[in-house]
């Protein structure tokens, strides 16, 4: 299967290379970043051993479209997409927190709630909530941004007290987060989807706040299908969803949650292709266009050529 799981280029003007869980980020001089969305997939903060064909293209193209569709709310880092798997943008100094916003109680928040937790990131939750129930108003549950290992939940008060973000800037990040989630929710509704929860990352350059990284992709967001949501919720049934949660559930069923000593279950070609199909389904559903598979015969050479031509311009 053709998938891109690692890169190690030497682009014109390159000054630094960072390998993230999914993206490889190349610094060009001091001001430009080349971000390659690889086909790696992570779950429970562990990078799984096999790549998912076309996943990087799906993520990069969804993020690119949503960056364009929200640039009137907050400026963002994107300058160009010279390749289906690459975004080139302005280098910003990232804030050390990720802004997670939840419209519904599901995923890790539900797992903690079910164990008895009635507070998340300093926000009190009432008794009697049910899985996948909609909050009256969305809640922001930030996390620390870990270079390695697990991101940790943190409250607004702790962020400000610890000096991770000033009070004034944090309140601006909150405002942007609510507005971006509202826009994402409206765009999802048009396509018969519910934007359940997502995360945003922000950075700063020359005193100005920018939206950075990806936005509204299946790696950073969870979507339910609108049709049948209420009926499934009333019956206590699982929601039909488009997100990476189906990968997490598959891993949990196989006894893997990223804990020490646990082995990643075997990922067959058949399983990886089924995950690829789910990613493509989300692209077509949320973007509302047919997904065009880019030529994957020699991914490394294609990306090198595309990026080099852009940088030389």
- Which pTM value belongs to this model? 0.90
- For residue 148, what pLDDT is reported? 61
Whether the domain at 14-92+271-312 and the domain at 94-242 fall into the same CATH topology: no
CATH fold of 94-242, please? D-amino Acid Aminotransferase; Chain A, domain 1 (3.30.470)
Helix-, strand-, coil-residue percentages of the chain, each rounded to 5? 30, 25, 40
Antiparallel, parallel or unpaired: β 143-144 and 97-104: antiparallel
Which pLDDT value is given to residue 244?
Answer: 81
How far apart are the C-alpha atoms of 158 and 94, rounded to whole Å? 18
Give pLDDT < 50 ranges for the chain: none
How confident is the model at residue 243, as a pLDDT? 75
Residue 83 CA to residue 26 CA, distance in Å, equals: 15
Q: Of the candidates 43, 39, 69, 66, which has an alpha carbon nearest to the alpha carbon of residue 52?
A: 39
Question: What is the topology classification, in CATH, of domain 14-92+271-312?
Answer: Phosphorylase Kinase; domain 1 (3.30.200)
Kindly provide the residue ranges of all beta strands, DSSP E only, lying in the chain, ordered along the sequence. 14-19, 23-28, 32-37, 42-43, 46-47, 78-83, 86-90, 93-94, 97-104, 119-120, 123-124, 134-140, 143-144, 193-205, 208-212, 221-225, 241-242
In whole angstroms, give the CA distance from residue 16 to residue 267: 32
- CA–CA distance, 250 with 247 (Å, rounded to integer): 5
Domain ranges of the chain: 14-92+271-312, 94-242
If you count them, how many residues does the chain have?
313
């Amino acid at each position: 299967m053709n998938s891109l799981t690692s890169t190690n280029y030497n682009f014109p003007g390159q000054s630094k290379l960072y390998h993230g869980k999914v993206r490889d980020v190349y610094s060009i001089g001091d001001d430009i970043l080349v971000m390659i969305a690889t086909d790696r997939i992570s779950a429970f903060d562990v990078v799984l051993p096999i790549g998912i064909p076309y996943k990087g293209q799906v993520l990069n193209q969804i993020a690119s479209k949503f960056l364009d569709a929200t640039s009137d709310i907050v400026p963002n880092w994107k300058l160009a997409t010279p390749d289906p798997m690459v975004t080139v943008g302005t280098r910003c100094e990232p804030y050390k927190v990720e802004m997670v916003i939840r419209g519904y109680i599901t995923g890790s928040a539900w797992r903690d709630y079910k164990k008895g937790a009635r507070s998340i990131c300093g926000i009190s939750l009432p008794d009697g909530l049910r899985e996948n129930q909609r909050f009256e108003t969305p809640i922001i549950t930030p996390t620390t941004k870990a270079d390695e290992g697990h991101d940790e939940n943190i409250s607004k008060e702790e962020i400000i007290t610890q000096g991770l973000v000033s009070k004034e800037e944090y309140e601006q990040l909150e405002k942007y987060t609510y507005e971006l989630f509202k826009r994402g929710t409206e765009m999802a509704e048009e396509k018969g989807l519910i934007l359940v929860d997502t995360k945003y990352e922000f950075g700063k350059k020359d005193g100005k706040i920018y939206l950075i990284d990806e936005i509204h992709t299946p790696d950073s967001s969870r979507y339910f299908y609108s049709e049948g949501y209420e009926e499934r919720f009333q019956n206590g049934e699982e929601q039909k969803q488009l997100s990476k949660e189906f990968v997490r559930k598959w891993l949990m069923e196989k006894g893997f949650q990223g804990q020490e000593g646990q082995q990643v279950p075997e990922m067959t070609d058949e399983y990886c292709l089924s995950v690829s199909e789910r990613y493509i389904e989300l692209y077509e559903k949320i973007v509302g266009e047919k997904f065009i598979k880019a030529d994957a015969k020699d991914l490394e050479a294609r990306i090198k050529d595309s990026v080099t031509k852009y940088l030389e311009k």
